[in-house]
Structure 1
Amino acid sequence: MVKLKWGMEYKGYLVSVDSYMNMQLANTEEYVDGALAGHLGEVLVRCNNVLFIRGVEEEEEDGEMKEA
């Protein structure tokens, strides 16, 4: 999950990162205020827009977290 400085969040598969921390995500979903805003597919996020990144556990189809 990538959170931008303006509050938007992008959840997807990390494809690549460069030395400046520009990120390419695949199968990306956009979240605004915690609500799904849309499915974007492949996205490039420029480094100076990123507030933070974190790993996300895989979810089951019903949206519940899997037991570890």
Structure 2
Amino acid sequence: MENGNPPQADGKDPSGFLSDIIGNNVTVKLNSGVVYKGELQSVDGYMNIALEKTEEHVNGVKRREYGDAFVRGNNVMYISADS
């Protein structure tokens, strides 16, 4: 722990990580438990997210497909980069 800040695993802050994965496939889980999977197009400081080629999953089952989707940041539990 340097200067009172916890160490980062790869030396990047969350906004740097998110900037690096724009254009990649991601999984976005909402506080409600709904999961969106798609290509990350943009993310802002409020964690508002724009996705393309989006799939909505509820209880592990694909429910809908969207061309584009916008997720409001206050609903986001986490964003994960898909491999």
> TM-score, length-normalised on structure 2?
0.66
- Secondary structure of residue in 1 paired with 2:81: coil
User: Is 1:10 aligned to 2:36, yes or no?
Assistant: yes
Q: For 2:34, give the aligned amino acid.
A: M
How far apart, CA to CA, are the structure 1 residues paired with 2:31 and 2:67?
21
The runs of at least 4 aligned residues of structure 1 exceeding 4 Å deviation read: none
1:61 equivalent in structure 2: none
Identity of aligned residues (%): 47
| Larger Rg, first or second structure (1 or 2) | 2
Count of aligned pairs between the two proteins: 57
Which residues of structure 1 form unaligned runs of 5+?
A: 58-68
30, 34, 52: which one pairs with 1:26?
52
Structure 1 or 2: more helix by fraction: 2
2:71 equivalent in structure 1: 45
Which residues of structure 2 form unaligned runs of 5+?
A: 1-26
CA-atom RMSD, angstroms? Answer: 0.6
How far apart, CA to CA, are the structure 1 residues paired with 2:31 and 2:69?
16
In the TM superposition, residue 56 of structure 1 has moved relative to its aligned partner by 1.0
How far apart, CA to CA, are the structure 2 residues paired with 1:49 and 1:19?
14
